[in-house]
Structure 1
Amino acid sequence: MASKGDLTKARLAESMLELIQTSGYSGTGLNAVIDHASAPKGSIYFHFPEGKEGLGVAAVELAAQRFETLIAEAAVAAGTPAEAARSAIEALTTIVSESDFRLGCPVSVVTLEMGAESERLRQACATAFESWISPTAAFLEASGIAAEEARSLATVVVSAIEGAVIVSRALRSTQPLAAAADVVAGLIDQRCQAAGGTR
């Protein structure tokens, strides 16, 4: 059973994650996180001695875990890699649309805002993207695509999805995500067929 301190730490990371998505990293102050998490005032520096940067890293890691789980669930439920990609994009589309286009990928937000300012945050974002690219590449490789090509294709897939989320939020439309789903699924099918793997 988690201790009270562990629960407070998790709540702070969760609040930071939510606020980054709606207000950006730079626009999220520590007082706002404390209020959002209903946490004691001294709790941030107790659990995150590095302050906002450490809390930002925790939020990025939390986002990475959640999307990694989404990818894993899509892979298990889908019959083919193309179906898995569609399923993952549909799940993201639901998140974006149901939030009235206020929520997207906090990892891309932190990368764009802080990638050149904080090496620690840049590395956390790089690790997050890698945690999505690697299992996607492994799934593609298991479908018959050569390792190097699977890695390249997985990188394109993750990049396309990230870009589609950003454009969808800007246009307040799910059409970019729907288009990405069609193109990504088609590309995966094409590569699997060329490799003689699963359609």
Structure 2
Amino acid sequence: MNSNGGGESNGSGESNGTGTRERILTAAAALFRRQGYTGTGLKQIAAESRARVGSIYHFFDGKDALTEEVVRTGGAAYGAMVLALLDGGPDDPVDALGAAFEQAAVDIALTDYADACPIATVALEVASTNEPLRQATADVFASWLDVLAAWCRVVVDDPDSARDLATAVVCALEGAFVLARAMRDPEPILAAGRSVTLLAAAMRDG
């Protein structure tokens, strides 16, 4: 990653401040979610972020470096958002899990089924073709599982069982996102939420 000092010119008269860098990251994140890594070019990212291609190279060492930062920063932000949603949900943690899926169904419909998981589209593309980016997506998923497994201890105290529940939650949500986007219907997410709450209740009461 190159210097990100504010106010430095890219040689085209554009100021390379923090605002430009953040616009590039925001635009790239949205495009990667909707179009994937291969389907998104630097020229399109530059146009969407109201920047120049030279600005992207000023802040990032090419498309892979930009993508890795988008994956890691976007993944961390999404994980924090989900945790806040769970913590701010119903007092019963099983109900809180169900409410999180219900909110996910609302959110994806509001974006016309364009936006879901911030890293899943990239993860599927790069799993067998780009080891640094595969590792970045794997690290994000691992961090989600760690945080969610810790939260799931309020449902089931055994750490291994809590990890299993966290894995089931992530798998159910990611799979439901794929079906919902393909079918343009939030019902797969709602159904996944109902299944997860049944599983969580059974693990807690068993």
Q: What TM-score does the superposition give when structure 1 sets the normalisation length?
A: 0.90
Indicate if the aligned counterparts of 1:168 and 1:176 stay in contact, CA closer than 8 A.
yes
- Give the deviation of 1:143 after TM superposition: 3.5
Match of 2:65 among 39, 50, 54: 54
Moved over 2 A (4+): 2-7, 142-145
Determine which structure has more spread, i.e. the larger CA radius of gyration: 2
Q: Which runs of 5+ in 1 are unaligned?
A: 195-199
- Give the deviation of 1:89 after TM superposition: 1.7
* Cα distance in 1, alignment partners of residues 78 and 93 from structure 2: 16
Q: Name which of structure 1's ranges 157-166 and 145-154 shifts more when overlaid on structure 2.
A: 145-154
Higher fraction of helix: 1
Indicate if the aligned counterparts of 2:93 and 2:154 stay in contact, CA closer than 8 A.
no
Match of 2:76 among 65, 73, 77: 65
- Give the deviation of 1:90 after TM superposition: 2.3
Query: Within the alignment, does 1:38 sit opposite 2:50 as a pair?
Result: yes
Match of 1:123 among 125, 128, 135: 135
Match of 1:159 among 171, 176, 196: 171
Bigger relative contact order, structure 1 or 2, given CA contacts below 8 A and separation 6+? 1
* Cα distance in 2, alignment partners of residues 74 and 104 from structure 1: 16
Count of aligned pairs between the two proteins: 192
Indicate if the aligned counterparts of 1:133 and 1:151 stay in contact, CA closer than 8 A.
yes
Q: What TM-score does the superposition give when structure 2 sets the normalisation length?
A: 0.87
- Give the deviation of 1:167 after TM superposition: 0.5
Indicate if the aligned counterparts of 1:17 and 1:106 stay in contact, CA closer than 8 A.
yes
* Cα distance in 2, alignment partners of residues 67 and 143 from structure 1: 22
- Give the deviation of 1:80 after TM superposition: 2.6
Indicate if the aligned counterparts of 1:161 and 1:180 stay in contact, CA closer than 8 A.
yes
- Secondary structure at 2:53 match in 1: coil
Indicate if the aligned counterparts of 2:33 and 2:122 stay in contact, CA closer than 8 A.
no
Letter in 1 for 2:70: A
* Cα distance in 2, alignment partners of residues 99 and 144 from structure 1: 34
RMSD, aligned α-carbons: 1.7
* Cα distance in 2, alignment partners of residues 81 and 119 from structure 1: 37
- Give the deviation of 1:128 after TM superposition: 1.4
- Give the deviation of 1:111 after TM superposition: 1.1
1:1-199 correspondence to structure 2 within 5 Å: 3=6, 5-49=17-61, 51-78=62-89, 79-194=91-206
Indicate if the aligned counterparts of 1:145 and 1:191 stay in contact, CA closer than 8 A.
no
- Give the deviation of 1:110 after TM superposition: 0.7
Q: Which runs of 5+ in 2 are unaligned?
A: 7-15
- Give the deviation of 1:151 after TM superposition: 0.7
- Give the deviation of 1:98 after TM superposition: 0.9
- Give the deviation of 1:117 after TM superposition: 1.0
- Give the deviation of 1:142 after TM superposition: 3.4
* Cα distance in 1, alignment partners of residues 151 and 177 from structure 2: 22
- Secondary structure at 1:42 match in 2: helix
Indicate if the aligned counterparts of 1:70 and 1:88 stay in contact, CA closer than 8 A.
no
With over 3 angstroms needed to count, the CA separation of the structure-2 counterparts of 1:184 and 1:144, relative to structure 1, is closer
